[in-house]
Amino acid sequence: MLNRLLRASLTKILGPIAHLFLRLGISPDVVTVVGTLGVCAGALAFFPRGEIWVGVLVITAFVFSDNVDGIMARESGRSSKWGAYLDSTLDRIGDAAIFGGLVLFYAGKGNNQLMAGLALSCLILGSVVSYAKARAEGLGYTANVGIAERADRLVAVLVAAFFADLFNSTILLGVVLGLLAVASLVTVLQRMLTVRRQALASGEVGA
């Protein structure tokens, strides 16, 4: 939902940056790769050491590349299946790094097994959310449903992690991680049911 609401505004804000990169001869794929590397560095270099708020700021600085590369591809006429594939694949890596960084912190220096478990649950279920949609589309179905889209999960965990570290409290982040895990599980079930209904309608499975 957040992705749809913010896309128009982000296009206006990030458009000049995208145009500058194009004039400099930078390709959308390069922006995609650099953005992912920045997100991974922010999460895996700072989160495990307990410097959560610093990591969030670094991640935020790079995460907008996901919008910049899309604008560049559209403006330059370079939109392609390869670009979409690269973008989606690297998005999953970035997401895994964010939740993985939290797992490493709470399993180590943070010494909170519950929080580590919640972060790990979000990592696993978030991956399944993406796979459930990709696999459905690969089989010719659609699974564009769910209450936990990627942008929603990303904004929620980054905001919660920032303030949790700033105010030295894990309660907010714990609640958000728990809700994200539940929402991701619900989304997986929604997508499975959606695909099953389509399969039943096509006569490919028995009732």
- Dump the DSSP string for 32-66: HHHHHHHHHHHHHHHGGGT-HHHHHHHHHHHHTHH
- Of the candidates 66, 91, 95, 165, the residue annotated as catalytic is 91
Decide: pTM greater than 0.95.
Answer: no
| Burial call 166-198: b when 16+ CB within 10 Å, e when fewer | eeeebeebbebbebbbebbbebbebbeebbeeb
Please name each of the domains of the chain with its CATH number.
2-201 (1.20.120.1760)
The pLDDT assigned to 187 comes to 94
- A 10 A CB-CB count for 62 gives 19
pLDDT of residue 2 exceeding 50, the answer is no
The owner of tokens 């400099």 is 24
Q: pLDDT (tens digit, 9 = 90+) per residue, 107-140?
A: 999 999 999 999 999 999 999 999 999 999 999 9
Mean pLDDT, residues 24-41: 92
95 is catalytic: no
Nearest to 157 by CA among 13, 67, 7, 42: 42
35-44, 47-56, 75-84, 104-113: least confidently modelled range:
75-84
* Mean pLDDT across the chain: 89
